[in-house]
Amino acid sequence: MASASVMTPVQRIEAVLAGRQPDRPPFSFWHHFPADQHHGPAAVQAHIDHLHHYELDFLKVMNDDPYPHDQPITGPADLGAIIALHGDEPSFARQLDLLADLRRRLGGGVLMTTTIFNAWATLRQLIRRPTEHNPPDLDSPDPISGKIGQWIRTDPEAVEGALGRITTSLANFARRCIAAGADGIYLSVRDDWVAAAGGPGLYDRLLRASDLAILAEAAQGRLNILHVCGRPLDLAAFGQYPVHAISWADRAAGPTIAQANQYLCPVMCCGIDNLKTLPEGAPADVEAQIRDALRQAAGRPMIIAPGCTYDPRRVPKANLLAIGRYLRHLGG
């Protein structure tokens, strides 16, 4: 995989998105920063330090600012208070400022994709604000999604209306993210919790068009990534989305890269286990997973990344540094 010349991070990503072999496989990884680094100058510096320390090929900009709605939601009657927003309200604006500041600091030297949680995930967060952000639990039932499922059965119009207005807000926000300097969005979806709440057809009925409406407003982006969190029930269906790459936990949740390689059109962005290998393994284990990921891809260009966010309190830096070191070795 060696090349006569070393590519820049942007060239490397662009080559993979075009189906061409780069000088080496590009990579990135990400984690949630502490609360005092969610926005403002501290967030800008935290992202830049992370990018430069590990020499990442693209930057996933974290977004832990809450959706702009302060009223409690305890039942379907409260959902009517959720209104469609313009996408530049205060907490949205903080993320837009972060993107603009990062673009000014980084110039065009790296592609940035910014996190947006889809309408279901956003409604979950409005019902119960997360107190901390950790890697996902793949096995436990989600009581908040279960509650939404109950509300759908008792007052479907209230839930569908709220999801629709949240979709409008997120679509407006996605468009403003691109205008602010993001090269794309990282849309996070999760179909296993939705199916558990209301059956296998619920995602198609309530959320697929919503996801596509959000992505449509980011269509000018150069690096739109779909992250299918949890245990994907139908990765092939998500493979039809108009995105450049798909991220999922191939190690912890499946399907495998070899399986997905048979039907996914977007670039695969995966390969490393964020739940066990990164926190509990050694650099040699990480390198072995990279080799295996590339073997499964069977020559198809891909992006090496963990299946989701990792816990920086548990993951040795040596394991993270091993990713870039090994891939740079492949590039000669």
pLDDT tops 90 at residue 3: no
Report residue 65's pLDDT band, with 50, 70 and 90 as the boundaries: very high
pLDDT tops 80 at residue 4: no
User: pLDDT over 70 for what percent of the chain?
Assistant: 99
Q: pLDDT tens-digit profile of 262-280? A: 999 999 999 999 999 999 9
The residue type at 224? N
Q: Omega of the bond prior to 135 within 30 degrees of 0, cis? A: no
3-state secondary structure of 9: helix
Integer Cα distance of 169 and 87 in angstroms: 6
**Which residue bears the tokens 């920063």?**
33
Quote the pLDDT of residue 225: 99
The span from the first CA to the last CA of the chain, in angstroms, equals: 8
Quote the pLDDT of residue 85: 99
pLDDT tops 80 at residue 214: yes
Q: pLDDT tens-digit profile of 129-151? A: 888 888 998 989 999 999 999 99
Sequential DSSP letters for 205-224: HHTHHHHHHHHHTTTT-S--
Average pLDDT score over residue span 60-73: 96
Quote the pLDDT of residue 332: 77
pLDDT tops 90 at residue 217: yes
Quote the pLDDT of residue 283: 99
* 230 torsion bin: left (phi>0), alpha (psi -120 to 50), beta (else): left
In 3D, which of 97, 7, 99, 105 has the Cα closest to residue 49? 105
pLDDT tops 90 at residue 330: yes
Contact 231, 138 (CB under 8 A): yes
Q: What is the residue extent of each domain of the chain?
A: 9-330
CA torsion through residues 35, 320, 178, 165, sign: negative
Q: pLDDT tens-digit profile of 82-95? A: 999 999 999 999 99
| Cross-strand pairs, 186 | 115, 225
For the whole model, what pTM was predicted? Answer: 0.97
Quote the pLDDT of residue 2: 42
Mean pLDDT, the chain, as a whole number?
A: 97
Integer Cα distance of 286 and 167 in angstroms: 38
Q: Omega of the bond prior to 141 within 30 degrees of 0, cis? A: no
- CATH value of 9-330 in 3.40.50.12780, 3.40.220.10, 3.20.20.210, 3.30.450.40: 3.20.20.210
Q: pLDDT tens-digit profile of 160-185? A: 999 999 999 999 999 999 999 999 99
Integer Cα distance of 201 and 223 in angstroms: 29
Integer Cα distance of 99 and 256 in angstroms: 33
Q: pLDDT tens-digit profile of 282-321? A: 999 999 999 999 999 999 999 999 999 999 999 999 999 9
Q: Is 94 exposed, middle or buried (0-12, 13-18, 19+ CB in 10 A)?
A: middle
**Which residue bears the tokens 């979709």?**
167
